[in-house]
């Protein structure tokens, strides 16, 4: 029998989706709905989003003023942190890959498992919305009008945009420009911290089980009927709250031994099998990555506890990473425009200094990814 891997099925459906969208755009006049559709690209101009930005900027003026000053400090800090972190991480990866933090490009099906894709997309959409909204609101607060605002979709990667009047931007003082360019990243970090506090408040911080994400096909857990999102919390009556406790328990189990696995869907009886790497070591057939189960204080139940935690956790991770990465002085990123403003009038060689940081930042990202692979 011929079977397709999930990644291939995903790629086929993605191609079909874009083909249908493109053909539909040729049949229907989508521009009257604010849509511009090209192969693997959709741009949506949202008048509602634009009106919301004008409305928000006209309210809480004192808050936006304070935020804009704080964002300049945060933006500069993020830029320095990103450069220092990537430099230190490069050294750690070069000397010992176990000490370095892997840096990779998100590619669904390759570097990102498909079961994470919904959480990734939800997080990116919300993070981009916050990022672009902050740029737009601070631009309006500094007297720059917004020409258009909306969302983008490139293949499977969502994005957003806020187009402002560039002529008026060029006439702004350096301080005003710094506020606008740093607003997006600062809003992402502050919202990320708020999400972290929400996670800390809503969820009990002591894990009470292990969430199954994948099982070995034909392995003991698979044959017994244990599925994704099941929570394992005991083996033969012994509680297993985290990976270390699971590993300690399994180290005492022999291949062929019967285990009663207590899960969120009831008890399952399995027979362990020898590990492919060590015939004397017993395995259940649970695959990494697995998750620790943190119960919520809202008593949502196992499944919705997990889903809520995952969405919030992904939002936190994406918010912080987008903020820090976006402040790197790489062309087309906010960090490049921020650095250009900082160097403006500072030195006769400001263009050369900016070019150095551009090249250095691209070098850091490229080598970090290469060594991570």
Q: From first to last of its 373 residues, what are the pLDDT tens digits of the chain?
A: 334 466 778 888 889 999 999 899 889 988 888 899 999 999 999 999 999 999 999 988 999 999 999 999 999 999 999 999 999 989 888 877 666 788 888 877 777 888 899 999 999 999 999 999 999 999 999 999 999 999 998 888 888 889 988 788 888 899 999 999 999 999 999 999 999 999 999 999 899 999 999 899 899 999 999 999 999 999 999 999 999 999 999 999 999 999 999 999 999 999 999 988 888 899 999 987 778 999 999 988 999 999 999 999 999 999 999 999 999 999 989 999 999 999 886 666 888 899 999 999 999 999 998 888 7
The total number of structural domains that make up the chain: 3
Within-domain flag for 305: no
Within-domain flag for 21: yes
What pairs with residue 260 in β-bridges? Answer: 269
Both 188 and 321 in a single domain?
yes
Both 200 and 269 in a single domain?
no
Residue 17's SS3 state is helix
- The residue from 293, 325, 359 where one domain ends is 293
Within-domain flag for 1: no
Return the sign of the alpha-carbon dihedral for residues 12, 15, 20, 21.
positive
Within-domain flag for 164: yes
* Tokens read off for 275: 């590990």
Both 198 and 215 in a single domain?
no
Whole-angstrom distance, CA of residue 305 vs CA of residue 313: 12
What pairs with residue 263 in β-bridges? Answer: 232, 266
Both 320 and 280 in a single domain?
no
Whole-angstrom distance, CA of residue 273 vs CA of residue 271: 7
Within-domain flag for 298: no
- The residue from 248, 266, 293 where one domain ends is 293
**Contact (CB, 8 A) for 9 and 114:** no
- The H or E element that residue 165 is part of is none
Within-domain flag for 316: yes
Within-domain flag for 194: yes
Residue 271's SS3 state is strand
Both 190 and 71 in a single domain?
yes
- The residue from 293, 318, 339 where one domain ends is 293
At 278 the pLDDT is: 87
Both 121 and 240 in a single domain?
no
Both 118 and 88 in a single domain?
yes
Phi, psi at 244, each rounded to 5°: -60, -40
Both 159 and 87 in a single domain?
yes
- CATH code of the domain in which 214 resides: 2.30.42.10
Residue numbers of the domain that contains 241: 210-293
Whole-angstrom distance, CA of residue 9 vs CA of residue 104: 23
Both 279 and 257 in a single domain?
yes
Both 150 and 52 in a single domain?
yes
Residue 276's SS3 state is coil
pTM for this predicted structure? 0.88
Residue 133's SS3 state is helix
Both 82 and 186 in a single domain?
yes
Both 322 and 186 in a single domain?
yes
User: Quick one: how far is CA 184 from the chain centroid?
Assistant: 16
Within-domain flag for 166: yes
């Amino acid at each position: 029998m011929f079977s397709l891997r999930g990644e291939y099925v995903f790629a086929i459906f993605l191609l079909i989706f874009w083909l249908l969208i493109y053909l539909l755009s040729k049949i229907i006049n989508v521009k009257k709905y604010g849509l511009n559709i090209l192969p693997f690209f959709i741009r949506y101009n949202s008048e509602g989003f634009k009106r919301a930005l004008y409305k928000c900027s006209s309210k809480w003026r004192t808050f936006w003023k304070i935020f804009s000053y704080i964002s300049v400090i945060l933006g500069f800090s993020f830029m320095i942190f990103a450069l220092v972190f990537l430099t230190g991480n490069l050294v750690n990866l070069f000397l010992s890959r176990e000490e370095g933090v892997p840096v990779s490009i998100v590619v669904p099906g390759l570097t990102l498992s498909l079961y994470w894709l919904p959480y990734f997309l939800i997080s990116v959409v919300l993070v981009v919305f916050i990022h672009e909204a902050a740029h737009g609101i601070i631009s309006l607060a500094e007297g720059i009008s917004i020409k258009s605002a909306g969302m983008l979709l490139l293949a499977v990667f969502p994005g957003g945009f806020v187009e402002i009047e560039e002529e008026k931007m060029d006439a702004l003082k350096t301080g005003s420009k710094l506020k606008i360019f740093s607003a997006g990243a600062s809003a992402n970090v502050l919202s990320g911290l708020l999400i972290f506090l929400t996670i800390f408040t809503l969820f009990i911080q002591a894990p009470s089980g292990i969430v199954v994400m994948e099982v070995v096909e034909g392995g003991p857990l698979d044959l017994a009927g244990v599925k994704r999102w099941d929570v394992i919390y005991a083996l033969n009556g012994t509680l297993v709250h985290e990976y270390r406790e699971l590993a300690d328990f399994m180290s005492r189990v022999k291949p062929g031994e019967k285990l009663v696995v207590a899960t969120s869907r009831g008890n399952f009886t399995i027979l362990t099998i020898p590990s492919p790497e060590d015939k004397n070591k017993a395995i259940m057939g649970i695959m990494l990555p697995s998750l620790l189960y943190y119960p919520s204080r809202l008593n949502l139940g196992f499944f919705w506890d997990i889903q809520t935690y995952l969405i919030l956790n992904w939002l936190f991770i994406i918010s912080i990473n987008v903020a820090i990465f976006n402040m790197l002085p790489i062309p087309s990123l906010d960090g490049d425009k921020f650095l250009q403003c900082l160097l403006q009038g500072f030195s006769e060689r400001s263009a050369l200094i900016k070019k150095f940081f551009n090249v250095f930042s691209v070098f850091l990202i490229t080598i970090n990814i290469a060594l991570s692979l």
